[in-house]
Every structure is written in structure tokens, then in C-alpha cells.
Structure 1
């Protein structure tokens, strides 16, 4: 009996596991550590080693002069560090090559012209390879729900979703800024006329919080904090007013400031 053929996965279906990467690294610092190992081993040619920032050239030197390290521990440490640095270069290459392809396309280079540079034989293959390389420019896989397939369809879908998330974040930030422009003067009036408000412990606490954040309220997170504090102050003033209306608000200015805060909080 013939085995049933395995269905191929959808080109946009995400992978279950993200690829393992060496991730962020300080390559110049690591090369500096390797330089120190060679200096400690009295490598006679260490003066010829390229600068720590010249990663590729430094790795070629360290490979050619690996025998200068006599201690087994130093050889192991240096070899492991070189493996990690080459992996780092490998991971960086996709992103850098993808950006070079974008520049070439922006300069009106045809896919057929890119094919030899990408080591493929056809324009369609150059396009597909370029799309796979674009996967390296997508958000960190650890921040995504699942890893994407390196197919043109999957990359385009992931880019669409990333753009949609970025647009939603921009809209949320714009809305927070708009709300802040309405909220800041209301919060200022509460502080200006706080002497006419009940000075109970809870009200005082939230007014103090407003006073602390309002002068430097610039980020979306601070906008949210200010809105939270104003809502809490309004809630506590309302509670005090229910308990003893004659002492909760004692001046007309404070009454109007509170009324404006209630209206804004209720509307939002």
C-alpha cells in the first residue's frame, strides 16, 4: 500500500520555532580580548593585526596566527570566540546584503542584472532570494508570536503585519497626545485651586501625583499616568462630596476645576 503523500506547508504558515541566533554582540570588544591573548602569548606579529573595529581582517589574522597561542586554555577560548564572531558576521550579512539590494533596485538595477551578484541563474531566482533576505530585517523573532518561513509570501505577509502594528502604535500615540492636550490644562486647574478641595489623605495623594508628573509629561507612558491620576483624584473628590458635600469643595474656582475634570473624565 502506497504511503499517503505529505502535504506541503503553506508558504505563509509560520514555523513553530524561531531560528537560534547569536544575537547582539560587541565584536570590537571581543576582538580586543583576542588581541590581549595574543599579546600575552608574545605573538611576534601582533603589531600587524588590524584594528579591533576591522572585524573581517582581524579574524583572518587570528586564524593565520592561531598557533601563536601555546596554552590550551587560550587556544580554546580564542577558537570559540572566532566561531562566535564568524556566526555574527553570517547573521549580519543577510541584513546588509538586503539593504544593498534595495539600493540597487532604487537605482533601477534590473533583477536580471542582480542574478549574477546573488549567485543565481535567473531574474525570478534573484527576486525570490532577495525576498528571503528581507526576512532578516523583520522584527526580532523573539518579539514575534512565531518564526516566519523564508518564502516571498511569508516575508510579504510578515512585513504587512509589522507595518500594521507600527501604524496602530502611531495612531495610539497620536491619540494619547491629543488626549494630553485636553487633559493638561484641566489637571493644571485642579492643582491651581487645590486649596478649595477636600484635603483628605487620598485626594492629597493623587493631586501630589499629578503635580509630580505634569511638568515633565512628554511620553505616551506619562500621558497615561497623568490620565490615571486625574481620574483617581476625581473619584476621590466625588467620594468626599458624597460623604460631606459642604466640605468637599469650598470655592467656586475649585468647583469649576472639578467640574471640568469630571466632564473630561466622563467623556473619555
Structure 2
């Protein structure tokens, strides 16, 4: 008899189906609804029920006093029980997130895996490490178009973490390159503005000079840097149109000509990036 092939999958393979999650819940509202149910049932101890934002305590209270709803309609009892189920599921989902943050803080504070093992209810440092990696999976997604949660194995989590490190390094390189390009651009634009009176101008050119002048002094954020690049491009296009229309140079001094040439060279280099 031919042995049936197994269904084993690679430990780093993404989940085939994204797990359903409770996700965001208005805790205060749901606990408030449970409180109202107990008040309507004339629960004699309802005043001892914890505040609406004290989720764990409120859940323990309504569990302990569930019999207070026994005289209510069956649909009220079912609704109360379902809300409890929903809130406990929310707590369960949040537990992994907050526990791995605590583990990360412990590691950053110098806590050893041998010390974390009993706190994570495992018997060995390697088991503590593996459990922490599995917990980390709740904060990570894979590279599939649907961005499924990462498979809860140490191998899959390590693979996802390495991918994130690579992505972050690439983003840093892009940001550093953009910052360097901006630092090279600023003196060129300042020089251009200083020679503004030596240019032939029209309403369009003057508009873009004013936009550049407005953004240049406080040009610090990525959006402001992008705006400066765009305004310079627009100003140079406006000058080129004016030069073509008049069939003569738009500069009246050598300093202005050199400033314009430098700006156009920066623009040319940008177009090749």
C-alpha cells in the first residue's frame, strides 16, 4: 500500500489563511452595556463593579455575578454572555502584544534568557527565546499581498525581522541621500534668489520666486524639501519659457548667468536619479 504523502510545510511558510481577529473594540462602551444590564436586573452588588475602563476587573465581576441576570429575558442573558466572550477574546489578543513588549524591555534592561524562563513559564533559556519569538509574530506580517500575520515559529519571526531590518536600512539610505541632495540644493537656490533682480521676469517667474523665498528659510521637513525642489523646477521652467518667448537671455549679469547655470545643472542631475 502506497504511503500517503505528508502535509509538512516549511516553518517559515506564511499562513495560508489570515486568522480572524476581534481587533479594535470600544471597551468602555461594551463594559458600560454590561453594567446597564446588571443595573436593569437590579444586581444588588453592581456598585462594586469596577469602572468601565478597568476591563479585567469588570470581566471578573460580571462572571462572578452572572446569576444576577437569571430573571432577565433569555436574549439579555445571551447578549451579556456574548459580550463577555468578545471581551475575553480581546484580552487574549492583547496579552501577546503586551507580553512581548515586556520581554523586549526586559532584554534591553539586561535580563538574561535564564531569568526570563520562569517568568514565561518554560523550563529552559532556549524555550524562553523560542516563546518570545512566537509572541513576536503577532506584531509582524509576511510579504504576501494580503500581509498575513507571520507564522508563529521562531524561524518565520527571524526571517520577518531580518526583512524589516533590510527595509529600515533601505529607508535610511533613501532619507540620507535625500538629505544630502537637499543640502547641496539649498546654497544653489540661495544664490539664485540673491541674483533675482538681475533676471528678466514676468508674473509667472515672480510667483515661483515668492514660493521659493517663503519655503527656503524653514525648509526642514521632507514635505518642505519636496516643495523646494518642485518650486525650483517650476521657476526654471518659467524662465525657460520666457527666454524662448523673448529669444534673448533672461539674465543681465554674469553672476546671474552662473547662478542660473548652477540651478539648471542641479535640476539635470536630479532628473537622472
Indicate the TM-score class for this superposition, using the shorter chain for normalisation: 0.7 to 0.9
Matched position secondary structure for 2:21: coil
Residues 142 and 148 in structure 2, CA contact (< 8 A), matched pair in contact too: no
In 1, Cα distance between the equivalents of 2:81 and 2:143? 28
In 2, Cα distance between the equivalents of 1:20 and 1:252? 69
* Residues 1:199 and 2:202 are matched in the alignment: yes
Aligned to 1:183: 185
Q: CA deviation at 1:172?
A: 1.9
Distance 1:10 1:67, change over 3 A: same
Q: CA deviation at 1:161?
A: 0.8
Residues 137 and 149 in structure 2, CA contact (< 8 A), matched pair in contact too: no
Equivalent residue pairs, number: 265
Distance 1:120 1:254, change over 3 A: same
What is the 5 A alignment of 1:1-268?
A: 1-6=1-6, 8-39=8-39, 42-68=42-68, 70=72, 75=77, 77-105=79-107, 106-110=110-114, 114-138=116-140, 145-191=147-193, 193-194=195-196, 196-201=199-204, 203-204=205-206, 206-211=208-213, 213-246=215-248, 248-250=250-252, 254-268=256-270
Matched position secondary structure for 2:220: coil
In 1, Cα distance between the equivalents of 2:254 and 2:232? 19
Matched position secondary structure for 1:35: helix
Superposition RMSD in Å = 3.5
Residues 197 and 254 in structure 1, CA contact (< 8 A), matched pair in contact too: no
* Bigger RCO (CA 8 Å, 6+ sep): 1
Q: Deviation digits for residues 178-219 of structure 1, max 9, x if unmatched?
A: 222332343345455545343254x45544543554454332
Unaligned runs of 5+ in 2: none
In 2, Cα distance between the equivalents of 1:178 and 1:88? 46
Q: CA deviation at 1:75?
A: 4.8
Matched position secondary structure for 1:44: coil
Residues 176 and 224 in structure 1, CA contact (< 8 A), matched pair in contact too: no
Unaligned runs of 5+ in 1: none
Distance 1:90 1:260, change over 3 A: same
Residues 201 and 250 in structure 2, CA contact (< 8 A), matched pair in contact too: yes
Matched position secondary structure for 2:248: helix
